[in-house]
Structure 1
């Protein structure tokens, strides 16, 4: 979503459209407000999900605040195309490199913070904090779960490293939230491929499960690849898969065949002598049940 896709009140007035006409267009649903004085045609807005609408609000906020603002924090994560999990997108985040003038409303958080040259990049002509700076800012300001989801997504791309993120965090070592940032960054792992996998790692840690190996390749005794699994506990001979079946239910239109192939894949993994456990989104809120599932799988493995 670009600023060019928006209709701004001041431009409309300059073109001869009146405020009553704008109000009428909103009342009839022809226009949808995305921010004060910024609108989208209804046909454009209907196709937007929460992330798309946030992009529109970011574009409006950048125009409203003029030069010198940099899209940052969760808003920068959205523009970078990162997985954002359950981060609240009601508020647009911008940063200015000033000593004062920050403010926070229900729809905007204007941060005041130093910005080095390496902290800023450009996406579609808009100044945005770099991946490393974005992850560091999110780690300071969002919950641990949200910070790990976004940080894992950034690292998974392979264009930013954990060292890059740690360097940014330590560069601003006296800023608010630095302790939370250090805790979050210590948990990041770019091998996680989805928010569910990132959150699963946190839940495992919280409920005392041993740390697994991520994205392990299961092979036969002859070396043939059986499959790559989300989590693997070699000591106990247990494989863990997050939402494994639903990952294959959509996209091709041949869901039955895809689910059947996944079942065959799981059977092939079990044929190598490994136990397999699965969990879904609902289980992330009751992970003790997953731990019990894991312990039963360990016990079965020991009896073999």
Structure 2
């Protein structure tokens, strides 16, 4: 990934920018301040999203760490390209062997102890490993955010799976390990988006049975479809419409053909969107009605 490097007063001055030039560039918006003394050119800033801005800041902070320090927590998750959902990115997080931490406007330093395998190098800076990062966040974040990050970690880095238990064991004397153990038990790398991860959480909270994920089915004309969620015993397909508002007419028609083909197999299709994740009882009601319809059809066909 080719991302811009952070600019500093020193680097700008070395290239002939005076203090007056710097002030004018900030005033006109040609430069954007990411943190005190850290800048990006406007075009580079506009080309990045919030995670991209944080990634630039984290790389800059990482380049200035001591030999026993590393980028950690959500900043490490950003550098590992994990899914970040509703986690504040105001501060860059670092961990270091100290007895106490430190929090400023732009930095959160966590006291820690390192174990073998905790540290890797990403984009040239020391970063906590995927497994250590997932465990640290599972200990400290709300469940929704922790599961979204953990699912994406297993999806993007499947080899990290066996390391999670060891990372949790090494964290046994830190706060939040009970919550972390519950999160790790629930993770599934087959979830392909934040919305699918949140959907699984809502299903469990609503008492719905656990579905199979990414099941492939072959419809009557030979086409193959992969299903977000499938309840084989009920003959019900679950589909999360995360990007429905961005679809054009061709996408909508293709989705209709897909749904018709699934219904032609005798399957019920239950759909939901982002807004309904916050009122999942609506989706649970749809599921219950789909179960009733499927049972009714099966009773008729058995006569």
TM-score (norm 2): 0.90
Q: Show structure 2 runs of 5+ residues with no match.
A: 298-303
d(CA) in 2 for partners of 1:35 and 1:99? 24
- CA change 1:291–1:79 in 2 (3 A) is same
Partners of 1:143 and 1:296 in 2: CA distance: 32
Equivalent in the alignment of 2:25 = 25
Report the Cα offset of residue 94 of structure 1: 1.0
- TM superposition shift of 1:61: 2.2
Determine whether 1:299 maps to 2:292. Answer: yes
Post-superposition shift, 1:101? 4.7
User: Which position in structure 2 is the counterpart of 1:239?
Assistant: 237
Q: Distance in 1 between matches of 2:245 and 2:226?
A: 14
Query: What is residue 204 of structure 1 aligned with on the other side?
Result: 203
**Any conservation in 2 of the 1:248–1:259 contact (CA below 8 Å)?**
no
TM-score (norm 1): 0.90
Alpha carbons 1:35, 1:60 under 8 Å: kept: no
1:1-304 equivalent positions in 2, closer than 5 A: 5-13=5-13, 17-96=17-96, 98-220=97-219, 224=222, 226-243=224-241, 246=244, 249=247, 255-304=248-297
Secondary structure class of the residue paired with 2:261: helix
SS in 2 for 1:229: strand
Residue 252 of structure 1 aligns with which residue?
A: none
Alpha carbons of structure 1 residues 51 and 174: separation in structure 2 relative to 1, 3 Å: same
The secondary structure found in structure 2 opposite 1:242 is strand
Calculate the aligned-residue CA RMSD, in Å.
Answer: 2.3
Check the 8 A contact 2:69/2:94 in 1, yes or no: yes
Aligned residues: 297
Maintained 8 Å contact 2:6/2:57: no
Select between 279-288 and 260-269 the one with higher mean Cα deviation: 260-269
Q: Contact 1:154–1:160 (CA<8 Å) still a contact in 2? A: no
Identify if the C-alpha distance between structure 1 residues 204 and 229 changes in structure 2 by more than 3 Å, giving closer, same or farther.
same
* Contact in 2 for aligned 1:72/1:128 (Cα 8 Å): yes
Distance 1:272 1:228 in 2: 14
Q: Secondary structure of 1:5's match? A: coil
Are the equivalent residues in 2 in contact too, given 1:245–1:262 (CA < 8 A)?
no
2:130, 2:160 within 8 Å by CA — same for their partners in 1?
A: no
CA distance in 1, matches of 2:143, 2:226: 27
Name the SS for the 1:231 alignment partner. Answer: strand
Deviates most, 100-109 or 195-204: 100-109
Q: Which runs of 4+ in 1 moved over 6 A?
A: 1-4
CA distance in 2, matches of 1:76, 1:199: 22
Shift of 1:65: 4.2
> Distance between the aligned counterparts of 1:276 and 1:90, measured in 2?
41
Map Cα deviations across residues 156-197 of structure 1 (whole Å, 9 max, x no partner): 125334331121011110101111111111110111111100
Contact 2:71 2:94 in 1 (8 A): yes
Equivalent-residue separation in structure 2 for 1:214 and 1:275 (angstroms): 16
Separation in 1, partners of 2:40, 2:166:
40
